[in-house]
C-alpha cells in the first residue's frame, strides 16, 4: 500500500500570492510587498492564537492580517475593497504543477488528503474553485481541534482522521514551520522548495526530502522507500 500524503493547502497547493494583480490596482508598486506581509502576519497571528489558546478561525487571522498590512504599507483600501480581497482569498489559484501531479499520485495509488489551517468549509470551497478537490480523499482541518499548526496535536489529529501511522504518513508542504512540526510529531515530510532563494529554518530538524516541484514527488518518495528498504507502507 502506498503512503498517505497530507498536502498543506495555503502555500503548497494554493498560491497565496495569487492576488498580487488585484492588490496592484490600489497598492501600485507596493503590491508584492503587501502580499508578502499579509501572508507573514496571517501565519504569525495563527501562531500567536495557538500559543495563547485564544482560537479564532484562519479566516479571522487573514482578516486581521489584512488590516495590519494596510496600516503597515500605508495603503488605503475601502471597506468594500477589503471585502472583495477577502472573498477572492476563497478562490485563490492552484500552482501550475498541482493538478497534473495530483492526478499522477492518485493513479500511482497514494492516499491523498488536504491538511490545512483553514476551516473545512473554506478549504473545500477553495479546492473546488481551483478544480482540484476531486483528486483528494478528504479534507482534514485543524479547526476540529481549535488550534493551529505546528501544534503536535494537529498532526496526531491528521493521523487519526486518515487512519495512517506516523511512519506511513508524509506531510507535503512549502512551509518550513509545517515540515518541522510534522517531523517533530513523528511523520515524514517533504519540503516543496519552489524558489531557489527559499531558506529552511536551521533548527536541526530536516525534511525527509526536498523537491522543487510537486511533479517530483512520486519518483522521490518511491526512491526513498526503496533506498531505505521500507517498501510501500
Annotate 193-223 with b (16+ C-beta within 10 A) or e (fewer).
Answer: bbeeeeeeeeeeeebbbbbeebbbbbeebee
Neighbouring C-alpha atoms within 13 Å toward the C-beta of 211:
21
Please pick, among 8, 15, 143, 178, the residue that the annotation labels catalytic. 8
What's CA 13's distance to the chain center, in Å? 7
Task: Tell me which residue of 161, 165, 139, 121 sits closest to 1, measured CA to CA.
Answer: 165
Task: Give residue for cell 501562531.
Answer: 47
What's CA 112's distance to the chain center, in Å? 14
| End-to-end Cα spacing for the chain | 5
Reply yes or no on whether 8 is catalytic: yes
Contact 50, 151 (CB under 8 A): yes
Q: Is 163 exposed, middle or buried (0-12, 13-18, 19+ CB in 10 A)?
A: exposed
Which residues are identified as catalytic?
8
Amino acid at each position: 500500500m502506498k503512503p498517505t500524503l497530507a498536502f498543506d493547502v495555503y502555500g503548497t497547493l494554493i498560491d497565496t500570492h495569487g492576488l498580487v494583480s488585484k492588490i496592484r490596482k490600489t497598492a501600485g508598486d507596493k503590491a508584492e510587498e503587501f502580499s508578502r506581509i499579509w501572508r507573514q502576519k496571517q501565519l504569525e497571528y495563527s501562531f500567536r492564537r495557538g500559543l495563547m489558546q485564544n482560537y479564532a478561525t484562519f479566516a479571522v487571522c487573514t482578516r486581521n492580517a489584512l488590516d495590519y498590512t494596510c496600516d503597515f504599507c500605508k495603503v488605503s483600501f475601502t471597506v468594500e475593497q477589503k471585502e472583495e480581497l477577502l472573498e477572492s482569498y476563497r478562490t485563490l489559484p492552484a500552482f501550475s504543477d498541482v493538478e497534473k501531479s495530483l492526478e499522477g499520485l492518485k493513479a500511482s495509488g497514494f492516499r491523498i488528503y488536504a491538511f490545512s489551517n483553514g476551516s473545512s468549509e473554506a478549504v473545500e470551497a477553495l479546492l473546488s474553485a481551483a478544480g482540484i478537490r476531486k483528486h483528494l480523499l478528504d479534507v482534514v482541518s485543524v479547526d476540529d481541534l481549535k488550534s493551529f499548526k505546528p501544534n503536535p496535536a494537529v498532526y496526531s489529529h491528521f493521523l487519526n482522521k486518515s487512519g495512517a501511522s506516523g511512519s506511513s504518513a508524509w506531510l507535503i508542504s512549502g512551509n518550513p514551520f509545517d515540515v518541522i512540526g510534522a517531523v517533530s510529531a513523528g511523520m515524514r515530510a517533504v519540503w516543496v522548495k519552489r524558489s531557489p532563494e527559499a531558506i529552511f529554518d536551521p533548527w536541526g530538524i530536516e525534511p525527509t526530502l526536498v523537491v522543487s516541484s510537486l511533479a517530483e514527488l512520486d519518483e522521490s518518495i518511491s526512491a526513498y522507500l526503496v533506498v531505505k528498504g521500507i517498501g510501500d507502507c
